[in-house]
Amino acid sequence: MTSIKNNSGLLSKLVIIIVLICGCSSKQTESKLEDMDKNKALFEAVDRGDATMVTKILQDKLSLEIKNEKGRTALMEAVYKTDNKIAVLLITAGADVNAQDGIKSSPFLYAGAEGNVEIVKMALKHGANFKIYNRYGGTALIPAAEKGHLEVVKLLVNTPNFPIDHINNLGWTALLEAVLLSDGGQVHIDIVAALIKGGCDVNIGDKNGITSLMHAKKQGYIEMVKLLEQAGAK
């Protein structure tokens, strides 16, 4: 009889343990589903440009580093859409400005490349990593110099510890790209001036050893030639 009672007691305890485990597992599953729903709602709100809904969703303190099927975080999507209002909300809430997507774009890198000064400034204040590079192995400064985004160039070239002389996979610095990939117009003349004033090395050559001055002379960019020669370029 004692043995039967003991076995009965053990069975009761096992049943209780199983019920507790199942209950915890169920709650964890519900929690994960709830998180998935919140993240889906966040991406949908970003897609719609609904800043009010984004603000409401952010109150739930969900993870902001979940990526969608394109490998993008909600912040990356907002920056691609140039929706600065939502991007600022997400960055302020702690979204990673360095999270890269499938083509190695990050909010910081893309904002720099597109001349989005507001987001570049926000990224600099929220941990922008200067050692994370785009798919060409470049910094945010290099495409900014190429594409004529003068204000971004001025900002980054004067940011402490920013690698202004970084060489990308093509063998080009920001200064080289400002000469090589421009039409020699006033915007790029101003960018060359800003890069020189910011302390860029004017004598770094490309993979063939051709410097910015050599390229400027070859392309007939007279004003750039003057600026580079005054800075001691060879």
What's the average pLDDT block by block, 10 residues per block, for the chain (234 residues)?
Answer: 53 51 46 67 97 96 93 98 98 98 97 98 98 98 98 98 98 98 97 98 98 98 98 97
Give the separation between CA 205 and CA 176, rounded to whole angstroms: 8
Q: What is the dotted CATH code of the domain comprising 31-132?
A: 1.25.40.20
Give the separation between CA 7 and CA 68, rounded to whole angstroms: 52
Q: Where are the alpha helices (DSSP H) in 83-203?
A: 84-92, 107-113, 117-125, 141-147, 150-157, 174-180, 186-197
pTM given for the model = 0.85
| Residue environment code for 168-189, b if the CB has 16+ CB neighbours within 10 A, otherwise e | beeebbbbbbbbbbbebeeebb
Please determine whether the domains at 31-132 and 136-234 fall in the same fold group of CATH. yes
Give the separation between CA 189 and CA 137, rounded to whole angstroms: 25
| pLDDT score at 30 | 43
| pLDDT score at 16 | 53
Q: Could you say which architecture CATH assigns to the domain 136-234?
A: Alpha Horseshoe (1.25)
| pLDDT score at 19 | 44
| pLDDT score at 32 | 46
Domain residue ranges of the chain, discontinuous segments joined by +: 31-132, 136-234
| pLDDT score at 61 | 86
| pLDDT score at 138 | 98
Give the dihedral sign, CA 40/41/46/48. Answer: positive
